[in-house]
Amino acid sequence: MDMILEIKDASFGYSQKTVLRNISFNVGAGELLCLLGPNGVGKTTLFKSILGFIAIKGGEITLDGQNIKKWSKSRLAKAVGYVPQAHTTPFPYTVLDVVLMGRIAHLGPFSSPSRDDVKIAEESLERLGVSFLKDMTYTEISGGERQMALIARALTQKPQILILDEPTSNLDYGNQVRVLLQIKKLSEEGIGVIMTSHFPNHAFLCSSKVVLLNKNGFKIGKADDIITETNMRDTYGINVRITRLADNHGAEIKSCVPLAN
């Protein structure tokens, strides 16, 4: 269960253009890493490279010390689960159908999911507390529910690492928080999580490790150390104030508040 994903001195980019250079960090079991950075800095390029959609241009990516470059898609899918932004499909699949597709990496080339696979898919929905979605039509549920269904699908792959692409985009305020708390819970249960976000507060909420990407390179550290007023100005070009307040149980939470002037 203690799988570690390591990015070692890697460069990322498309055919001609290198977007990110000399990136190194790692994510272990139970860790939550939040990828912050402005539009176009290469967050998407980075996680697409980890998922093997794009070949890396230098360095290496290893899982438990093994270079994943030559791994088959199904071997990678058993280790790393991907949660895309909530979307719709052209066809009206049921939520269970969608979640069951997470078993594909575990199936033989000619087989379709068995009763046991259905059980695993149902467990994933239950784990997220959304079993009631099971028989609903994926194209007719809300954005937040679709995001939950996609997380359930990734869990059904039984991965040790979960990669989420802006899991809160297009969600209302309540659903954003609900989805984030769910993700935090998963990482506490032992899954290594990498997610991209546009909101520094999401990193505070999940008390995660942060990789901050900007034009000066990258910084890695605890949310408290990385999300500072200076770093936010350098990264996003805006002035913010970091405030502290206490929640109902007296625990301190931080918040990043943008300033109007």
Q: Which residues bind another protein (CB under 8 A)?
A: 15, 48, 51-53, 72-78, 80-82, 84, 89-94, 97, 101-102, 104-107, 109-113, 132-136, 139-142, 144-145, 153, 157, 172-175
**157 in Cβ contact with 105 (< 8 Å):** yes
Question: Nearest approach, Cβ of 174 to another protein (angstroms)?
Answer: 5
Question: Nearest approach, Cβ of 209 to another protein (angstroms)?
Answer: 23
Classify residue 9 by burial, with Cβ atoms within 10 Å: 0-12, 13-18, 19+.
exposed
**Cβ distance to another protein smaller for residue 92 or 258:** 92
**Cβ distance to another protein smaller for residue 75 or 127:** 75
Residues 68, 57: Cα–Cα separation, whole Å? 14
Question: Nearest approach, Cβ of 139 to another protein (angstroms)?
Answer: 7
Question: Nearest approach, Cβ of 11 to another protein (angstroms)?
Answer: 19
Residues 82, 69: Cα–Cα separation, whole Å? 17
**Cβ distance to another protein smaller for residue 90 or 237:** 90
**Cβ distance to another protein smaller for residue 134 or 219:** 134
State the alpha helices, DSSP H only, in 172-238: 173-188, 200-205, 223-226, 229-236
Exposure letters 13-24 (e unless 16+ CB within 10 A, then b): beeeeebbbebe
Question: Nearest approach, Cβ of 14 to another protein (angstroms)?
Answer: 9
Which residues in 53-132 belong to E strands, given as ranges? 58-63, 66-67, 80-83
**Cβ distance to another protein smaller for residue 64 or 135:** 135
Report how far apart, in Å, the C-alpha atoms of 139 and of each of 103, 119, 254 are.
21, 23, 37
